[in-house]
């Protein structure tokens, strides 16, 4: 039992980074980032490349990969999303564009890194014992870094001037513009930050379970599940969704055979959405 809780907490912390990122992009841009899992994957593979091929220390590789994917996210906003939003009147167009960017990243990763599962050796070795549960030191490290980053993002969004402008932008774009906010710049920053959060999650997880170029869609699906549970576009909902999915998954893997866990999760999600379509923390539409 303790082991399941420990595993659940570690998964939840990593998932929270993913869910926070996709929520930032969704609420600021009103774009569902279908490429979020691919950004996670790219973060992981870039860390692998920088550590194993280039020989950088892990910390430098993690920071480097996060910045690279963050810049890719900003470029996507400036060159793709902004243009499509300006020229189209239908929201589906940005969704199609997001799917396109997912394919672009996945195929770029396939040609650059190949299709093999890649891993990075654990950063810290050793195992802690918490009651009856084993906690490998490396997983504790991943958990710790994730929690620190989550707290940092929450502080930034809630208490900094730019974070406040991001929240304003998510609520009323015109009113935000009238406050003198350079909304284009804040959108770019928000997209970059969301992408960077996906990348750092991938860069952390590659030391635990490895990453391959095809993992993106599965991660995006998990991100969607989390924001559907918690409520799309709400930060507290993203965190709640991450905690819920992390622990459900940990329990499922412990008690259910193999692939049954996600089958159950999807069935439960469908029933849940029938009862509460806006998620736990979400506001009903309209």
Residues near other proteins, by CB under 8 A: 161, 164-165, 167-168, 171-172, 174-183
Tell me how far, at minimum, the Cβ of 174 lies from other proteins, in Å.
Answer: 6
Of the pair 125, 174, the CB lying nearest other proteins is at 174
Beta-carbon count within 10 A of 136 CB: 17
Confirm if 12 and 205 have CB atoms less than 8 A apart.
no
Q: Are strands 133-136 and 127-130 parallel, antiparallel or unpaired?
A: antiparallel
Q: Where are the beta strands (DSSP E) in 35-146?
A: 127-130, 133-136
Q: Which residues pair with 134 in a beta bridge?
A: 129
Of the pair 107, 171, the CB lying nearest other proteins is at 171
Token pair, residue 269, equals 């999600």
Tell me how far, at minimum, the Cβ of 218 lies from other proteins, in Å.
Answer: 32
CA dist., res. 224 & res. 56, Å (int): 33
Tell me how far, at minimum, the Cβ of 27 lies from other proteins, in Å.
Answer: 10
Of the pair 120, 168, the CB lying nearest other proteins is at 168
Confirm if 59 and 264 have CB atoms less than 8 A apart.
no
Tell me how far, at minimum, the Cβ of 192 lies from other proteins, in Å.
Answer: 20
CA dist., res. 81 & res. 87, Å (int): 10
Tell me how far, at minimum, the Cβ of 195 lies from other proteins, in Å.
Answer: 24
CA distances from 253 to 5, 128, 144, 152, 265 (A): 12, 22, 23, 31, 12
Token pair, residue 246, equals 């992390």
- Name 199's Cβ contacts closer than 8 Å, sequence gap at least 6: 39, 40, 42, 43, 46, 65, 66, 68, 69, 70
Task: Work out the burial of residue 161: count CB atoms within 10 Å of its CB; fewer than 13 is exposed, 13-18 middle, 19 or more buried.
Answer: exposed
The alpha carbon of residue 159 and the mean position of all alpha carbons in its chain are separated, in whole angstroms, by 22
Of the pair 71, 175, the CB lying nearest other proteins is at 175
Tell me how far, at minimum, the Cβ of 88 lies from other proteins, in Å.
Answer: 15
Tell me how far, at minimum, the Cβ of 180 lies from other proteins, in Å.
Answer: 3
Of the pair 17, 168, the CB lying nearest other proteins is at 168
Of the pair 180, 257, the CB lying nearest other proteins is at 180
Of the pair 184, 260, the CB lying nearest other proteins is at 184
DSSP category for residue 89: S
Tell me how far, at minimum, the Cβ of 276 lies from other proteins, in Å.
Answer: 19
């Amino acid at each position: 039992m303790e082991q399941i809780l420990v595993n659940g907490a570690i998964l939840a912390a990593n998932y929270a980074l993913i869910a926070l990122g996709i929520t930032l992009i969704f609420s600021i841009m009103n774009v569902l980032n279908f490429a979020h899992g691919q950004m996670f994957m790219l973060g992981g593979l870039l860390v692998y490349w920088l550590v194993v091929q280039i020989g950088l220390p892990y910390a430098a590789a993690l920071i480097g990969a996060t910045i690279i994917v963050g810049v890719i996210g900003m470029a996507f906003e400036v060159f793709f999303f902004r243009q499509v939003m300006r020229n189209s009147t239908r929201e589906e167009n940005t969704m199609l564009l997001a799917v396109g960017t997912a394919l672009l990243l996945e195929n770029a990763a396939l040609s650059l890194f190949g299709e093999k599962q890649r891993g990075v050796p654990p950063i810290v070795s050793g195992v802690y014992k918490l009651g009856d549960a084993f906690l490998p030191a490396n997983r504790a490290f991943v958990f710790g870094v994730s929690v620190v980053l989550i707290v940092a993002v929450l502080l930034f969004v809630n208490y900094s001037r730019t974070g406040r402008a991001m929240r304003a932008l998510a609520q009323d774009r015109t009113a935000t513009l009238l406050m003198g906010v350079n909304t284009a710049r804040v959108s770019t920053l928000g997209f970059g930050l969301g992408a960077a959060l996906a990348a750092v999650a991938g860069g952390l997880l590659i030391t635990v379970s490895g990453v391959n170029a095809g993992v993106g869609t599965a991660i995006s699906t998990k991100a969607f599940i989390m924001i559907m549970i918690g409520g799309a576009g709400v930060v507290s909902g993203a965190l709640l969704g991450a905690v819920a999915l992390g622990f459900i998954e940990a329990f499922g893997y412990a008690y259910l055979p193999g692939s049954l866990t996600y089958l159950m999760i999807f069935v439960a999600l469908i029933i849940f959405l029938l009862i509460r379509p806006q998620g736990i923390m979400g506001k009903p539409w309209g």
